[in-house]
Structure 1
Amino acid sequence: METKEYNLAISNHDFKVKGYWLDQVEDFGQTVDYPIVIICPGGGFTFHSQREEEPIALRFNSFGMHVVVLEYKLIDDTPVFPTALQEMAKTIDWINQQPASRHIDKKRIILAGFSAGGQIVSAYNGIGTDPKLRKKYQIDQYSGDFAATILGYPVVDMTVKGSFPADDKIRQQISTDETFWQTQNYLNGNSKPSFVWQTRTDELVNISNSLMYVGKMNQLNLPVEYHLFGSGIHGLALGTYVTKKPGKDKYLNARAAGWIDLAMSWLEMMKLLG
């Protein structure tokens, strides 16, 4: 396997992605084009959680998928959106420009977002699949499509009381454009299938976020699978010792840790894996 960082750019803004590329297996006797996952880690738009980067990337690798981690824009002097959406579009475009020797199945690009990263992915599944909004937010200049999304304890609706973000100041730092405050409203007939999971006792992102997203997907008759685990804190990542913070057993959750096997089974059912 090859791991490599890349510098990409949109307009005058630079950002980084990190690739986890699978090698070909000589024993197969033929080459294989692998699906690829773009991971948007969480971190409340103030940092990129490493617990939701390489540990999850390697698990996806173990199922026969290339992975790219997107280090999207964080809160600074300018709002996160729409720049983060443009970064996603550029990343998809960049993947589509990769040579055949990289062995990517470009028809099986999966977007995976966790917590704040889930806001970006859920927004892209709505705004990024609407031709008028693609033009409005200047992402129509980038080529390439994606096939599905995976959302883990995602931020979807930033107007929910008692949920992230804590106040209007942070919401305005994330986006001054209210379009990005309720991403479920922009899901449409072109939006892609989604696998969504969360825990009922999530103390940071109220479960109404994922419920509203899934409800809108169902209303549009779009393929969706939802798993609400009975207990567990926010930010479980893998829910195993690999992503457990030292001395904090609350980051272990054997039942919720099954989300990744469920997600892979779902991708298999959707003909996006294997």
Structure 2
Amino acid sequence: MKAEENNLTISNHDFKVKSYWLDQVADFGQPVDYPIVVICPGGGFTFHSQREEEPVALRFNSFGMHAVVLEYKLIDKEPVYPLALQELGKVIDWINQQPASRHIDKQRIILAGFSAGGHIVAAYNGIATDEKLRKKYHLDQFSGQHAAAILGYPVIDMTVKGSFPSDDKVREEITPDKALWKTQDLLNKNSKPVFVWQTRTDELVNVINSLMYVEKMNQLDLPVEYHLFGSGIHGLVFGTYVTKKPGKDKYLNAWTAKWIELALNWLEMMKLIG
């Protein structure tokens, strides 16, 4: 495996991606093109949680997937959106421009988003698959399309009371475009399959978020798999010592750690890995 950092640019705006490329295996006797996952970590749009970056990338590596981490736009003087969507579109375009020597299966690009990063992925799954919205948010300048998405304790609807974000000021800092506040309403018949997981006791992102997205997927008759675990705090990642914050045992939850295996089983069922 080879780890790299690359700087990409959109409209004079630079952003960083971290990539984890699998090596070819000589024992196979022939080259293999691997699927690739693009990871959008959480952090409340104020930072990128490193607990949801390299540990997640390496786990996907272990299941035969290249991995890329997108360090998307955060809250500052300008809103997060629509630039964050364009950054994700640029990353997919960048993947499609990679040489054949990278051995990427460009028909199997998977998006994975956690918490705030889940909002970006959830919104992208609606906008990038709708011709009019793709043009409206200037995603039509980029080539390529994702094949599926994985959402972990995602922010879906920013208007849910008692859930992140807590007030209109933060919502406006993320985006004044109210059409982006409810990602479930962006879904359409061309949106891609989704795997979603969350815990019922999530104290930051109310569980109704994931439920609304899954329900809309069902209404559109789109492939979706949903796992609601009975307990666990927000931001568990794997719920193991790998991603536990030092001295904080509340980040341990062996049962929810099974989500990654469930997600990979789902990807195999969807013929997106293996």
Q: Give the TM-score band, short-chain normalised.
A: over 0.9
Matched residue, 1:228? 228
Counterpart-to-counterpart distance in 2, 1:31 and 1:231: 43
Return the offset for 1:128: 1.3
Number of residue equivalences: 274
Counterpart-to-counterpart distance in 1, 2:236 and 2:62: 19
Counterpart-to-counterpart distance in 2, 1:258 and 1:6: 32
Matched residue, 2:149? 149
Return the offset for 1:96: 0.1
- What is the RMSD computed on CA atoms of the aligned residues? 0.4
Counterpart-to-counterpart distance in 2, 1:148 and 1:171: 27
Counterpart-to-counterpart distance in 1, 2:58 and 2:7: 21
Deviations 1:49-77 (A, max 9, x none): 00000001000000000000000000000
What amino acid is the match of 2:59? R
Give the TM-score of the pair, scaled to structure 1: 1.00
Matched residue, 1:77? 77
Matched residue, 2:15? 15
What amino acid is the match of 1:110? I
Return the offset for 1:40: 0.1
Counterpart-to-counterpart distance in 1, 2:181 and 2:224: 22
Return the offset for 1:30: 0.7
Correspondence 1:40-119 to 2 at 5 A: 40-119=40-119
Q: Per the alignment, in what secondary structure is the counterpart of residue 89 of structure 2?
A: helix
Matched residue, 1:159? 159
Return the offset for 1:11: 1.0
Counterpart-to-counterpart distance in 2, 1:126 and 1:138: 14
Return the offset for 1:23: 0.3
Counterpart-to-counterpart distance in 1, 2:179 and 2:63: 35
Counterpart-to-counterpart distance in 2, 1:155 and 1:7: 27
Return the offset for 1:270: 0.1
Correspondence 1:195-234 to 2 at 5 A: 195-234=195-234
Return the offset for 1:6: 0.3
Matched residue, 2:132? 132
Gaps of 5+ in 2: none
Correspondence 1:232-251 to 2 at 5 A: 232-251=232-251
Matched residue, 1:253? 253
Q: Per the alignment, in what secondary structure is the counterpart of residue 129 of structure 1?
A: coil
Counterpart-to-counterpart distance in 1, 2:266 and 2:139: 29
Counterpart-to-counterpart distance in 2, 1:180 and 1:83: 12
Counterpart-to-counterpart distance in 1, 2:127 and 2:24: 35
Q: Per the alignment, in what secondary structure is the counterpart of residue 214 of structure 1?
A: helix
Identical residues among aligned pairs (%)? 79
Q: Per the alignment, in what secondary structure is the counterpart of residue 197 of structure 2?
A: strand
Q: Per the alignment, in what secondary structure is the counterpart of residue 160 of structure 2?
A: coil
Return the offset for 1:179: 1.1
Return the offset for 1:223: 0.1
Return the offset for 1:253: 0.5
Give the TM-score of the pair, scaled to structure 2: 1.00
Counterpart-to-counterpart distance in 2, 1:72 and 1:119: 12
